[in-house]
Amino acid sequence: MAKITLSIIKADIGSIGGHIKPSEKLLQTVENYIKIHGKGLLIDSYVGHTGDDIAILSTHTKGVLNERVHKLCWQAFVTGTKVAKIQGLYGAGQDLLKDSFSGNVRGMGPAVAEMEIEERPAEPFLMFAADKTDPGAYNLPMYLTFCDPMHNAGLLLSPGIKKGFKFVIMDVSYTKADKFIELNTPENIYDIAVLLRDPNRFVVESVWSRATGEQAASVSTTRLHNIAGKYTGKDDPVALVRSQKDFPATGEILSPYSIAPYVAGFMRGSHSGPLMPVKKNSPISFFDGPPIVSCLAFCVKDGKLTEPADAFDHPYWDYVRVKASKKAEEIRRQGFYGQAMLPMSELEYTGVMDTLKELEKKFIIKKSK
């Protein structure tokens, strides 16, 4: 069996009633486009949504950043955008920042998480998709899953996992090219923590097994507001994580999501809110949020996907959702104040900046005698 590639490409191309969810017709349009035009290129595909973002998962043998695969997804989103416009959906074509396709979709708006793998006899993996947040939202879960035996019992129990992992971390403030660092666990876990504590700037891009050299995880690291230079919506991120054997068990990958950590995003992409684990195809609601993350588990054989198992569709996660709602309500009580709204550098609208510019003229500097 040749190597196979898992690709997730996702975009917000329009949504019903504000930034809630795509219409059924829009979702169907994207799914049909991929089914029809992906023949002969893709082995298999799955299309779903998380909040207002549509994610296309595909399997193929073409490797990562493949022009034909990326172009197929881009064209599916372009075709979907036409439907979104006809239906009068909000933000039609929101994440398609360029007029024409060139090479691959990185830097063009859609989020991408891909990996090329040597299929194991059983190949379980997880597809994460988050809305109303940004790629740094995966920092804490990735750290805890791959570095902390409080979440990953395999670090104590499984010799392969105990050998540790290599983290590739991007500095997303650098926009001229990809700027990244490679750090190994367990010896560099404090250095990794120093970077990951600042999720606006440093973002986990991928994780690799030191036991086998195989890739364990891939996260979309694009930041739309760095691409566009102005507000275009949050760069709602997707991620792929392989599980079992020399990778963490599925439950160890899910475990950190119990925390529902405060992340950047929420209303107008400019607030802090708890990351709520949700069921597949969940919409957005309270205060254009809270930030949500879905997780679909698959197995893949010769590139053929099983149906997804909805990892957060379980009574345990109902309890976490209640907890996340309480955390959301608590931080919303302080509205715009302090930690509830993001720092100036992360605000996705220019309103505050414009006001400050005006007020600056009215400030008085008292002359000392």
Q: Which residues are catalytic?
A: 12, 231, 234
Interacting residue with ligand 13P among 10, 30, 45, 52 (CB under 6 A): 52
Please check whether residue 278 is in contact with residue 50, taking contact to mean a CB–CB distance below 8 angstroms.
yes
* Cα distances (Å, whole numbers) of residue 317 to 81, 143, 257, 299, 309: 34, 21, 9, 22, 14
Interacting residue with ligand 13P among 129, 249, 328, 341 (CB under 6 A): 249
Residue 205, binding choice from ligand 13P, Mg ion, none, Cβ under 5 to 8 Å by partner class:
none
Site for ligand 13P in 151-190 (CB under 6 A): none
d(CA 254, CA 250): 6
Binding of residue 236 to Mg ion (CB under 5 A) = yes
d(CA 59, CA 63): 10
In sequence order, the β-bridge partners of residue 47 are 56
Six-digit token pair at 366?
Answer: 């008292």
Interacting residue with ligand 13P among 21, 242, 268, 327 (CB under 6 A): 268
Q: At 101, give phi and psi (nearest 5°).
A: -75, 140
Beta strand 292-301 pairing with 304-305: antiparallel
- Stretch of 135-143, 262-270, 309-317, 361-369 lying at the interface with ligand 13P (CB under 6 A): 262-270
- Our CA angle for 333, 335, 340, nearest 5°, is 95
Per-residue x/- mask for ligand 13P, residues 280 to 309, rule CB under 6 A?
A: --------x---------------------
Site for ligand 13P in 85-104 (CB under 6 A): 91, 94
Site for ligand 13P in 120-139 (CB under 6 A): 131-132
d(CA 200, CA 260): 17
Residue 245, binding choice from ligand 13P, Mg ion, none, Cβ under 5 to 8 Å by partner class:
ligand 13P
Six-digit token pair at 220?
Answer: 């979309």
Residue 49, binding choice from ligand 13P, Mg ion, none, Cβ under 5 to 8 Å by partner class:
none
Q: Give me the least distance between CB of 51 and ligand 13P, in Å please.
A: 6
Residue nearest ligand 13P by beta-carbon distance: 233
- Residue 258's CB is within 10 A of a number of other CB atoms, namely 17
* Cα distances (Å, whole numbers) of residue 313 to 200, 275, 349: 29, 16, 35
Q: Which is nearer to ligand 13P, 63 or 160 (CB)?
A: 160
Binding of residue 22 to ligand 13P (CB under 6 A) = no
Q: Give me the least distance between CB of 241 and ligand 13P, in Å please.
A: 14
Residue 249, binding choice from ligand 13P, Mg ion, none, Cβ under 5 to 8 Å by partner class:
ligand 13P
Say whether 330 sits in a helix, a strand or coil. helix
d(CA 188, CA 269): 32
Binding of residue 186 to Mg ion (CB under 5 A) = no
d(CA 109, CA 173): 16
Please give the residue ranges that form the binding site for ligand 13P (CB under 6 A).
12, 19, 51-52, 91, 94, 131-132, 233-234, 236, 244-245, 249, 251, 267-269, 288
